[in-house]
Amino acid sequence: MRYIMFPILISSMVSCASTPTANPSPAITHTNDGALAQIDQGKKLYVQYCAGCHGNGGEGTAKAPPVVGAGAFPLVAATDAKRNVPFHTAADVFTWTVKHMPADAPGSLSTEQYLAIFAFDLTANGVKLSAPLDAAKAAAIVLHP
């Protein structure tokens, strides 16, 4: 995934005035406390519930596709995949995931927990959240127009 995939987000959410440093940490410098707490919670939940199949860095494993990086969240899944809905926005990914993930216990987490995992995952994909993620914000994050 690249920044270019998030035109709405970039224009409306990246409003940090600080000058980038030589080695910037965008998730920290551009994110408020509420979003940071959500991202931090999501990281822990991801490790606990998702990393076993999707990999510690979300890079994917033999068991499951990547959820971080250039190959994450394609518009249409591979032909042998169970996923049969296109991923236009982050909300599409979210809705599908709540119903189907974790694959060994679908729907077993709270909405708050799924949102936290997505806040973490989107951040890992280069999206900058200036406030905690909610359903409306997820719908505005366009992955594939």
Residues that bind ligand HEC (CB under 6 A): 49-50, 52-54, 63-65, 67, 73-74, 77, 81-83, 93, 97, 101-104, 117
DSSP-assigned letters across all residues of 55-116: -TTS---SSS--SSSTTSS-SS--TT-S--S---BHHHHHHHHHHH-STTSTT-S-HHHHHH
CA distances to 49, 53, 130, 136 from 104, rounded to whole Å, are 10, 10, 33, 28
Nearest CB to ligand HEC, comparing residues 26 and 52: 52
CB of 139 to ligand HEC, least distance (A): 16
Q: Is 142 helix (H, G, I), strand (E, B) or coil?
A: strand
What is the smallest separation between the CB atom of 67 and ligand HEC, expressed in angstroms?
5
Minimum Å distance from CB 76 to ligand HEC? 9
- The least CB distance from residue 41 to ligand HEC, in Å, is 13
Q: Which is nearer to ligand HEC, 83 or 88 (CB)?
A: 83
In the bound state with ligand HEC, the residue whose beta carbon lies nearer, of 6 and 73, is 73
Q: Tell me the closest approach of the beta carbon of residue 142 to ligand HEC, in angstroms.
A: 16
Locate 16 and state its tokens.
Answer: 């940090």
Let me know: does 6 contact 123? Beta carbons within 8 Å. Answer: no
Tokens of 48: 């606990």
Residue among 27 and 50 whose Cβ is closer to ligand HEC: 50
**CB of 39 or CB of 101, closer to ligand HEC:** 101
